[in-house]
Structure 1
Amino acid sequence: MTPRLRAARGAPQEVWIAFGGEADQPWLRLLRRGFRHCFAALRDEAGWTVVEPLSGRLLVARLAVPAGYDLPGFYARAGLAVLGPFAPGPVRARRLPPLLPQSCVGLCRALLGAGAPFAVTPFGLFLGLRKILREDRKKVLTAG
């Protein structure tokens, strides 16, 4: 297991990334169907917080559900692709500001920290995170 994912199992906070969405903006039709948007759900000992960048604003909502509620399962049953858990990344100093515009992918990458795979589209982020999870599972299955 990678140290990042191992830390997620016992971390005080977990990050789950959900992918989905239809084209509510004309330019979103250029993106792969089912991967036109992504957002993050953070779980801590008190419950769930959803961080979702919408067109023109940022939605941050503390959900009125218990910490033990299976929010990733709820999103999966609703037809979204959900990956996690990941530990939130530490703060990282930069010499230059990021050059990419702020988007749903950029926000999710910022929550994941320096170890997040580079991606410009939600589908690219999905593939990068899925690869991390698969490598993690292979290490667990082959160890011991």
Structure 2
Amino acid sequence: VGQGIRVDAHLRTSAPNIYAAGDVCEFQLDGQYQRQETWRNAEAQGRHAALNLLGREVPFEALPGFWSDQYDWGLQTVGGMTAFSVTRALPDGGLLLFFLDTERRLQGACGWARGNGVAKDIKLCERLISAGIALDTANLINPDLSLKQLLRG
């Protein structure tokens, strides 16, 4: 154990035939062990652990993310946070933070807006992370340019 029950890429513990998932599970993401205490992660890891218990041998590769409602505002994240970020101001006083690697590929995003105002943008960020394309930071900070346009290239 570290800060939780450490597992390999298939969510196996060091004990034979024992898997761990959810809040207690400490797994590697970008070479670092971490825990994700969110229902989204617990659900995804539970499914993966079940598949692996049934002999599928599927590595856990889901992007981390969570959401939280804070009265009239919503916070949503996806992916990992890096040292380099740019910010897009949103019309309602909210914002989107984009976390990029050294090749300007999106690694993570965090949004703050009224209600569920950033849900669509965070979903698009998830697709941009998976696409692994280099992005122009001027386009990311431009609120008049939709993230869907960036995904299309």
TM-score by length of 1: 0.27
TM-score by length of 2: 0.25
Q: Which has the larger radius of gyration?
A: 2
Which one has a larger percent helix, Structure 1 or Structure 2?
1
Which one has a larger percent strand, Structure 1 or Structure 2?
2
| Highest RCO, 1 vs 2 (Cα 8 Å, sep ≥ 6) | 1
